[in-house]
Amino acid sequence: MKKRNSPNRLQITDVQTTPPVRNNHTASRHRHRLVRSRYRRIVYLSGACITLLVLAVLWLMGSAHGVTEPSFGNSTLPLPPEVQARLQREQRRPSPSSPTSANAADSDNGDTNDANAAGSGSRSGSKDDSISAPGSASGDKSGTKGQIDYPHKVFPEKELPILHAPRTSVRAMQAFAKSRNAAPLFVKLAPKFFTLATKAGVDPLVAYCQAALETNFMHFTGVVTADHHNPCGLKTTVGGGDKEKAAHTVFPDWDTGIRAQVEHLALYAGAEGYPLEPAHTADPRHFAYLHGKAPMVEDLSRRWAPAADYGQLIRSLMEQANSFN
């Protein structure tokens, strides 16, 4: 008897494999998600572009109105808010009468006895005229008439060695210069003073403040001009009259002029290895008899210049600059 297949038995041949059919509603939702995602990206990118555009416009508007940070040498460094406020207060003050002859070219240097005793070739009966004294153009030898009492921060030492690690920073030096309405050139040269003085072992603040005293913060209103590149009125080897422009050394650039100043200071302070060989110094008056004559800032009085308070004037400027530290 022939067996019949049971109708309930699963026949493998009866199973049909057909591809799944995607629901139209599901596909529509997927498309909407893609559209929303792309829209969000476009919105975010548009917002970022608009923000950058607004910042660029604000920056251009600020530049057009001169709103810039103070430039320190070849870089730009922001000053602290309290220093900026002090600068604004100081710049509103009336400009004081200069504590110097405005360019260190109006009297002799004060090494009278040393120069004559050493037979250095200085003019007969004259003082060592390596630099002119401050204040002589106006007859004010002390250079203190009409001077404003500026804020200062006193150094604890009774006397300040010339040969010393830097007592301040370039930023503080420039802030001090701006507070005294210095010429832009003087502010710009602060990094050079710092580098060259430190290399010679001289505190850069000494050289910078001496240059401020001798050049009236590089406004140059006397015989020596900016074209001399002479920050301290150094005269030539043979010297000459204080009113003679040719008697003052003309240096090829500011690097050489500042180097001559700090080497002259190092010589006075008695630096080791000094005096230098003539071929190795920019100082036109690098005389051996000056070695060690003024190890302290205060000792420069009646030596570098004949004024009795010459060194104290430099110290006073240093303490004004120290208040910006």
Q: What is the mean pLDDT of residues 233-262?
A: 91
pLDDT at 139: 34
Position 250 pLDDT exceeds 50: yes
Taking the C-alpha atoms of residue 221 and residue 218, their distance in angstroms, rounded to an integer, is 9
Q: Which residue has the higher pLDDT, 242 or 91?
A: 242
Position 152 pLDDT exceeds 60: yes
Q: Which of 208-212, 291-295, 297-301, 306-310 has the lowest mean pLDDT?
A: 306-310
For the chain, helix, strand, coil in percent to 5 are 45, 5, 50
Cα dihedral 28, 34, 38, 39, rounded to 10, equals 40
What is the tens place of the pLDDT at every residue in 253-294? 999 999 999 999 999 999 999 999 999 999 999 999 999 999
What is the tens place of the pLDDT at every residue in 80-137? 666 666 666 666 655 444 444 434 433 334 343 333 333 333 333 333 444 444 433 3
Instruction: Tell me if 168 sits within 8 A of 186, measured CB to CB.
Output: no
The domain limits of the chain are 26-68, 71-322
Position 14 pLDDT exceeds 70: no
Taking the C-alpha atoms of residue 201 and residue 221, their distance in angstroms, rounded to an integer, is 31
Residue type, 166: P
Taking the C-alpha atoms of residue 263 and residue 200, their distance in angstroms, rounded to an integer, is 7
pLDDT at 230: 96
> What's the CATH number for 71-322?
1.10.530.10
pLDDT at 147: 54
Q: Which of 40-54, 162-176, 177-191 has the lowest mean pLDDT?
A: 40-54
pTM of the predicted protein model: 0.61
Q: Which residue has the higher pLDDT, 42 or 308?
A: 308
pLDDT at 256: 97
Residue ranges of alpha helices (H) inside 65-203 are: 81-91, 112-118, 170-179, 184-188, 190-199
Taking the C-alpha atoms of residue 276 and residue 263, their distance in angstroms, rounded to an integer, is 9
Highest mean pLDDT among 79-88, 148-157, 176-185: 176-185
